[in-house]
């Protein structure tokens, strides 16, 4: 009975409401403290930092809103050294003040690789080795040598380059290869609709060279696809090893290459068996 009597007293309700008020005040203080600590509501749009150096970003005051961290560098000959080429988060992202922004910048100097020893390797092995070392195959030059498609020498600017020589990534390496003990002619590969990088590899695997290249639509080669070749696609004519093939490109944004390919039938190529007899184009060793 004493408990229910106490509930009816004014003093109970006074203390009860005081306790609720204090609890609400404490809750408000905690919430506001969390807002300040987490910077709740202070959201910023990440700008596009591409092309800016770290010093330029700091001069513009971006360091007051973001914490910049350089995580990688890559070499671009056409871009200014030390400028941003990649960022995370991407531009347009919504982040809080002080968020780390990770940057990839243009290296001050080109990356270097060691020249592998290609001598006495087959052409196919040499192409794979150069690609894995991020070096570019240039011209294939055939000379008298008993092993067909064996690498006789490796050159830069017509000068021999020794194994373990330090080179800039992307250097162009010319290969001197053996003709073998008999004259060999090779068929023209099917190149229509291929990208420029795929054309080079396919011609080299066929013991042929890239000749002149013509881009008929625009400068942006990322959309360029093979439209025409000389010698012509699907020709019955056999080519000499090392012979150059001229390429004409069109943009896949202007030409429907799926439809364009319908007029070609790669399986219909007819190599004259009398011409091709005993002409094995595979590596002899």
Could you read off the pLDDT of 11-35 as tens digits, one per residue? 656 766 777 778 777 877 766 666 5
Residue 150, φ and ψ in degrees, nearest 5: -85, 140
| Cβ atoms within 10 Å, residue 188 | 23
Distance CA 106, CA 81 (A): 5
| 173 class by beta-carbon count within 10 Å (0-12 exposed, 13-18 middle, 19+ buried) | buried
Structure-block tokens of residue 55: 């010093």
CA-angle at 268, arms to 267 and 272, nearest 5°:
115
Secondary structure class of 221 (helix, strand, coil): helix
Distance CA 55, CA 238 (A): 59
Identify the pLDDT of residue 119.
96
Distance CA 153, CA 7 (A): 104
Q: Which residues are CB-neighbours of 126 under 8 A, at least 6 positions away?
A: 118, 137, 151, 175
pLDDT at 229 over 90: yes
Token pair 């001598």 in the structure block, residue: 119
Domain 45-106 coded CATH 3.40.50.10800? no
How far CA 249 is from CA of 19, 141, 218, in Å, comes to 81, 25, 10
pLDDT in tens, 111-160: 889 999 999 999 999 999 999 999 999 999 999 999 999 999 999 999 99
Report domain 184-285's class: alpha beta
CA-angle at 218, arms to 191 and 265, nearest 5°:
20
Annotated domain spans of the chain:
2-38, 45-106, 110-181, 184-285
Identify the pLDDT of residue 272.
43
- Across 100-119, average pLDDT: 91
Residue 200, φ and ψ in degrees, nearest 5: -60, -50
Q: Maximum CA pair distance of the chain?
A: 121
Question: Identical fold at 45-106 and 110-181?
Answer: yes
Architecture of domain 110-181: 2-Layer Sandwich (3.30)
Q: Which residue, 266, 222, 264, 226, is CA-closest to 247?
A: 226
Cite the beta strand spans of 191-261 per DSSP E: 209-215, 224-230, 238-240, 244-251
Strand 99-106 vs strand 136-143: parallel, antiparallel, or unpaired? unpaired
How high is the mean pLDDT of the chain? 85
């Amino acid at each position: 009975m004493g408990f229910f009597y106490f509930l009816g007293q004014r003093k109970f309700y006074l203390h009860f409401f005081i306790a609720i008020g204090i609890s609400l005040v404490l809750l408000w203080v905690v919430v506001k403290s969390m807002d300040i600590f987490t910077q709740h509501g202070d959201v910023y749009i990440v700008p596009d930092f591409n092309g800016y150096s770290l010093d330029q970003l700091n001069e513009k005051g971006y360091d007051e809103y973001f914490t910049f961290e350089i995580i990688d560098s890559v070499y671009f000959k056409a871009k200014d050294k030390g400028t941003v080429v990649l960022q995370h988060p991407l531009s347009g992202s919504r982040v809080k003040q002080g968020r780390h922004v990770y940057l990839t910048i243009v290296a001050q100097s080109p990356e270097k690789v060691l020249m592998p020893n290609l001598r006495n390797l087959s052409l196919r092995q040499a192409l794979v080795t150069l690609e894995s070392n991020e070096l570019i195959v240039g011209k294939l030059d055939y000379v008298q040598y008993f092993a067909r498609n064996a690498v006789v020498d490796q050159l830069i600017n017509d000068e021999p380059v020794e194994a373990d020589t330090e080179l800039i990534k992307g250097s162009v390496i010319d290969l001197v290869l053996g003709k073998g003990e008999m004259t060999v002619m090779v068929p023209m590969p099917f190149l229509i609709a291929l990208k420029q990088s795929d054309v080079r590899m396919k011609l080299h695997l066929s013991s042929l060279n890239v000749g002149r290249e013509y881009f008929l639509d625009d400068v942006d080669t990322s959309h360029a696809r093979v439209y025409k070749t000389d010698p012509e696609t699907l020709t019955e004519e056999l080519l000499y090893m090392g012979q150059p093939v001229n390429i004409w490109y069109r943009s896949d944004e202007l030409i429907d290459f799926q439809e364009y390919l319908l007029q070609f039938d790669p399986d219909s190529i007819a190599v004259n068996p009398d011409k091709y007899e005993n002409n094995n184009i595979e590596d002899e060793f």
